[in-house]
A and B are shown apart, each in its own frame.
Chain A
Amino acid sequence: MRRVAIVGAGITKFMRRAQETGKELSYEASKMALDSCGLTLKDIDMVTLGTAPDAFDGVHMKGEWLSDGAGGWRKPYIRNYVGGGTGVFAPIHGFFHVASGMADSCLVVCEEKMSSCHPHPQGAFKTIFDHTLEQPLNPTLIWIFALEMNRYMHTYGLTKKDIALVSVKNKRNALDHPSAQIPENLTVEDVLNSETLAWPVNRLDISPASDGAAAVVLMSEEKARKITDRPVWISGVGWNIDTAYWATKELCYPRYVEKAARQAYEMAGIKEPHKEIQVAEPYDPFSYKELHHMEGLLLCKKGEAPKLLADGVTQRTGNLPICPSGGALGVGNPIAATGLMKIIEIFLQLRGEAGKRQVPGNPKVGLAQAWGDLMQVGTVVVMKS
């Protein structure tokens, strides 16, 4: 198998409402990624775009509409899609492009413009539920998170307080991220006292709706060596989807994330992830999700993530820094772009280029993960310097 490296990265600000169109956001992130490694569009063989529901941007077949902004002009350009897991799946897609030998270079772009959807982007989520058997109950997106969080708390005897610390940590980490939308210094009490939207979920347990884009450039080993002495390798990829009958499975544990992680670990030769992974960016659209995903990623035992959090292990200065970027909770959550933001964070951490966000100890192995669909999809990328 050909080795594939990440050689460049770009990102926009994450914003509640961007003036830029989705095309323009895609361009700004892509251009920055190309500039960062001294390449131009001409150097790119193929392009893959990750973007989540058309219902956000409000354009049917939005991959087609976005193509010029994403650098797809007269190139083999394709869109990939696994719901909310797309942001970490997009570089996996780019990986196939290069590892297969079809391309020596691939531009990976992720975009989301949620603010076009009115009155609130959450409205677009009603129609993620089964049209015949669930939508007539008028579900809101938060239902599934509340149901899952409750089940998680019940199974492991956790309290809301145990979980609120995720928001505090991530929003604080985001103070150092230049793209961040809602970085903040909060206390656990602030989270617990924020409005209850759907018990046990409070307003500050939730990441915001956002507009933004991110991009990375992938290259074959041979080409990468020519333009950088610090490539970051994609050493393991995994993704997995569970049944659409989401209410028929145990919600307290994301078995699909474990499946995806095992696929990625096997490929990367990782035997003891809790010891070998030095920095991780699991997906944190809701506070408990970070913990849920740490467990699914086998970074700790089931039900043990809250303890690591409480003990400070997952702080930037801890033994296993989790979401040093500030995550979806702090940087913002333009769905697909968030996943790629996490890939970029690990890329920077492994290069020692994360600036104020840099975790100590010169990490050499890191991981990014996203989640999507109806509690169904896990996407995992293991990276090594």
Chain B
Amino acid sequence: MGKEIRTKKWEGEIPVHYLYTYGLAGEKFFREIKDRGTFVATKCSKCNVTYVPPRIYCERCFAELGNYKDVGTKGTVETYTVCHESADGKKLSKPEIIAAVRLDGTDGGLVHRLSVADPSKVNIGMKVEAVFAEPAKRTGSINDILHFRPI
């Protein structure tokens, strides 16, 4: 089709970077992690749904939610996976376990790393708890949680 093209590719990128605020509920959530090493939730009593991370609204009925309550740091493994590839698709020298943790007494939770001595012992339904960075090292980020570990 047509003649041989010499300039076959044009390279480019989208040269932007971002700074995200955490939102009204997110700000509360991460302040509690940073200052107190615990998780807070909001609850819609009408739908009987407890949100972690907390939200200012119930996604099901749009009730306005406030009243942040401490739900502690323990939960169960809803599901997990063993990642063998890095963020940019390269093979990881040491695979890592990622779990979706349902925090006790809530309908939400967090997705985070799971640290275990024996990977073959991980199972769905396993009880786990969050391990935080030392208070002085916390910045108010999801990475203030180092990982979850079995109880």
Contacts and interface: CB of A to CB of B under 8 A. Distances in A.
A42 interface: yes
Interface stretch (A115-123, A249-257, A298-306): A115-123
A235 to B, nearest CB: 30
Nearest to A135: B12
Contacts of A132: 10, 12
B60 A21 contact: no
Interface residues of A, number: 31
Interface of A: 17-21, 23-24, 27, 30-31, 34, 40-42, 55, 58, 68-69, 71, 73, 115-118, 123-124, 126-127, 131-132, 135
Nearest to A72: B59
30 contacts: A17-B21, A19-B23, A19-B24, A20-B24, A21-B20, A21-B22, A21-B23, A24-B23, A24-B25, A27-B57, A31-B62, A40-B62, A41-B60, A41-B62, A42-B61, A55-B16, A58-B16, A58-B18, A71-B62, A73-B60, A116-B21, A118-B19, A123-B16, A124-B14, A124-B16, A126-B15, A127-B12, A127-B14, A127-B16, A132-B12
B12 A31 contact: no
Contact of B62 (A17, A34, A116, A127): A34
The 7 lowest CB-CB distance pairs between A and B, nearest first, are A21-B23, A58-B18, A68-B59, A132-B10, A41-B62, A27-B57, A73-B59
Contacts of B99: none
Contacts of B19: 116, 118
Interface string B33-76: 00000000000000000000001110111101000000000000
A116 B60 CA distance: 27
Contacts of B21: 17-21, 115-116
Contacts of A30: 62
A224 B62 CA distance: 21
B45 to A, nearest CB: 15
Given A73-B59, A123-B15, A116 B20 contact: yes
Contacts, number: 71
B17 interface: yes
Given A118-B16, A118-B17, A131-B12, 10 more contacts: A24-B23, A24-B57, A27-B57, A40-B61, A55-B14, A58-B16, A68-B59, A73-B59, A127-B15, A131-B10
A223 B19 CA distance: 43
A124 B15 CA distance: 8
B26 interface: yes
B27 interface: yes
B20 A58 contact: yes
Contacts of B60: 41, 73
A117 B61 contact: no
Given A20-B24, A132-B10, A118 B18 contact: yes
A132 B55 CA distance: 43
A31 B23 contact: no
Contacts of A31: 57, 62, 64
Contacts of B27: 19
A20 B23 contact: yes
B12 A24 contact: no
B28 to A, nearest CB: 11
Interface in B1-18: 10, 12, 14-18
Contacts of A68: 55, 59
